[in-house]
């Protein structure tokens, strides 16, 4: 009888499995709440004192999706998201919202369609579909967990295309998310050269570089993958364009990979993060519209005092994140040399004319922006009762990274860097419901696979 129970637990013939945990000690399946310095040490309760926090789920087989339900104390009203790791080499997660206090407390009139909501400072749209069919200017709109099509970016007046290649200063570490304006009749033109500055040999997944290019209609026009086996890789991206618009050039790469970037475009920016590497004697300038800037360095020789909007920001320690609130719509960042990563909700540019065709994201600085008249979101507010709040999110697991010993890795993210030992997030329970193919579906898929092999 015991072996039948063990076999059932291992195979999960119904395709469904559920797990729950209420403390840091966890169990065989839900375990490893990391890093330890971001969880309370005085108690075994699930108390987060820093963010983000991580945990692992180790089921006996793989599944297609996970529905994660988290219960937390209502007094800990923080922005809260849950995510799953999909790419370990580039540390990329798919995240979903659980709680957004700004939207929970917003008193504007709203319309909804399913989980899609539109808040309006003054009523303009009668339905969600009206909004989609005739959207407002991007400058009046803020988004949360909702993508905005780039095809809606207007043509820039008096734009003149460059005809010569120009190499960007310094080198650029890891993944790049470039937003590039291409004029009417102009071609998207970029060159990249990839090398590694790692002392140790790169692992197989760290050698892989993936480049994807999306046109103004959000259609992928080019995709390529290559491996850094010979020490250097050169790639050229040239795509002709009939109409003016914004292209996205997304480069996925390990932080151990450095790029030299060359382009013919004159209007471009990096979205959400930028990681330049400059020589020790090079004085650099970067401009950004990020309201809450995060800076970090992993190199001892890059520790320095930089200037952000005229205010000093001292990077005293490696691997420590430093934050500063910017005081103007566009801020200049200045420094000398270094290997420093910058991140935040917005864009970064090598020009003082910062190009950002996207609507703003919903964050704590929303109230300071009088131009925002509309907020669109794919979001369901949590349910709260007897001082406990509860919310769920569904995450796809088909492409999630699977660690041979620990299973899936999940991230709990709390926005605005609000957590500390005095202002923690107290989690009452984490429940995970997994779903996937049942035993008969698995057998059918296997037989179909074998039959296709026999026919080929």
Model confidence pLDDT, tens digit, residues 68-126:
999 999 988 899 999 999 988 778 899 999 999 999 999 999 999 999 999 999 999 99
Taking the C-alpha atoms of residue 349 and residue 287, their distance in angstroms, rounded to an integer, is 5
Give the end of a domain, one of 305, 324, 357: 357
Residues 18-23 have a mean pLDDT of 95
Structure tokens that stand for 143 in this block: 């988004």
Q: What pairing do the DSSP bridges indicate for beta strands 141-144 and 374-378?
A: parallel
Query: Side by side, which strands form the sheet with 80-87?
Result: 30-34, 53-57, 408-414, 80-87, 92-99
Question: Which pLDDT band holds residue 289 (cuts at 50, 70, 90)?
Answer: very high
| Residue 10 within a domain | yes
pLDDT in tens, 386-415: 899 999 999 999 999 999 889 999 999 997
Q: Identify whether residues 298 and 428 lie together within a single domain.
A: no
Residues 241 and 340 in one domain: yes
Q: Is the predicted pLDDT of residue 176 greater than 80, yes or no? A: yes
Q: What local confidence, expressed as pLDDT, does residue 304 receive?
A: 96
Contact status, residue 148 vs residue 214, Cβ threshold 8 Å:
no
Q: pLDDT tier at 11 (50, 70, 90 boundaries)?
A: very low
Tens of pLDDT, residues 290-347: 999 999 999 999 999 999 999 999 999 999 989 999 978 899 999 999 999 999 989 9
How many helices, marked H, and strands, marked E, lie in the chain?
Answer: 4, 32
In a domain, 323, yes or no: yes
Question: In this structure, are 65 and 185 located in the same domain?
Answer: no
pLDDT, position 240? 87
Structural domain boundaries, residue 48: 2-100+381-440
327 and 389 together in one domain: no
Q: How many domains does the chain have?
A: 2
**What predicted TM-score, i.e. pTM, was given to this entire model?**
0.81
pLDDT tens-digit readout, 357-384: 888 889 888 877 888 999 999 999 999 9
60 & 192 share domain: no
Asked if residue 427 belongs to a domain, the reply is: yes
Residue 144 falls inside a structural domain: no
Q: Is 395 exposed, middle or buried, given 0-12, 13-18 or 19+ CB atoms closer than 10 A?
A: buried
- The reported pLDDT for the residue numbered 6 is 38
Q: Please say if the pLDDT value at position 452 is more than 70.
A: no
226 in the same domain as 336: yes
Residues 293, 400: one domain? no
**157-195 per-residue burial string, b: 16 or more CB within 10 A, e: under 16:** eeeeeeeeeeeeebbbbbbbbbbbbbbeebebbbbbebe
Q: Is 313 in the same domain as 436?
A: no
Mean pLDDT over residues 229-247, rounded? Answer: 88
Q: What is the CA radius of gyration of the chain?
A: 24
pLDDT at residue 456 is higher than 80: no
**Which of 82, 146, 103, 24 has its CA nearest to residue 414?**
82
Q: What is the pLDDT of residue 439?
A: 54
Residues 75 and 211 in one domain: no
């Amino acid at each position: 009888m015991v072996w039948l129970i063990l076999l059932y637990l291992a195979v999960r013939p119904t395709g469904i499995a559920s797990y729950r945990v209420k403390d840091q000690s966890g169990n065989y399946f839900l375990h490893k709440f990391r890093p330890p310095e971001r969880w309370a040490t005085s108690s075994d309760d699930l108390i987060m004192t820093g963010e983000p926090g991580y945990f692992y789920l180790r089921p006996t087989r793989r599944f297609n999706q996970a529905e994660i339900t988290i219960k937390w104390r209502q007094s800990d009203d923080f922005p809260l998201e849950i995510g799953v790791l999909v790419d370990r080499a580039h540390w990329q997660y798919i995240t979903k919202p659980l709680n957004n206090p700004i939207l929970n407390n917003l008193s504007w009139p709203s319309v909804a369609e399913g989980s899609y909501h539109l808040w309006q400072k003054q009523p303009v749209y009668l339905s969600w579909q009206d909004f989609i069919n005739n959207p407002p200017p991007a400058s009046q709109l803020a988004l949360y967990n909702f993508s905005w099509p780039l095809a809606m970016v207007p043509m820039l007046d008096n734009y003149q295309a460059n005809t010569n290649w120009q190499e960007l200063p310094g080198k650029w570490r890891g993944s790049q998310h470039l937003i590039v304006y291409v004029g009417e009749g102009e071609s998207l033109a970029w060159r990249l050269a990839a090398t590694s500055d790692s002392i140790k040999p790169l692992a197989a997944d760290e050698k892989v570089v993936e480049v994807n290019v999306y046109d103004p209609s959000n259609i992928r026009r080019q995709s390529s993958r290559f491996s850094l086996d010979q020490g250097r890789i050169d790639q050229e991206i040239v795509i002709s364009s009939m109409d003016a618009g914004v292209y996205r050039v997304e480069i996925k790469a390990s932080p151990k990979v450095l790029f030299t970037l060359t382009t013919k475009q004159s209007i471009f920016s990096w979205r959400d993060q930028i990681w330049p590497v400059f020589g020790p004697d090079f004085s650099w300038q970067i401009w950004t519209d990020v309201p809450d800037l995060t800076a970090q360095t992993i190199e001892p020789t890059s520790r320095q005092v930089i200037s952000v909007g005229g205010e000093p920001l001292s990077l005293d320690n490696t691997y420590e994140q430093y934050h500063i609130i910017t005081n103007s719509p566009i801020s200049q960042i200045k420094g000398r040399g270094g290997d420093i990563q910058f991140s935040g909700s917005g864009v970064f540019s090598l020009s003082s004319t910062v190009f950002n065709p996207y609507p703003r994201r919903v964050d704590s600085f929303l109230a300071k922006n009088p131009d925002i008249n509309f907020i669109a979101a794919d979001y369901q507010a949590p349910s709260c009762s007897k001082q406990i709040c509860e919310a769920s999110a569904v995450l796809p697991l088909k492409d999630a990274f699977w660690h041979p010993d620990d299973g899936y890795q999940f991230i709990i993210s709390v926005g605005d860097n609000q957590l500390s030992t005095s202002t923690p997030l107290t989690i009452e329970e984490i429940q995970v419901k997994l779903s996937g193919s049942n035993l008969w579906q698995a057998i059918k898929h296997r037989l179909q696979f074998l039959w296709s092999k026999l026919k080929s």
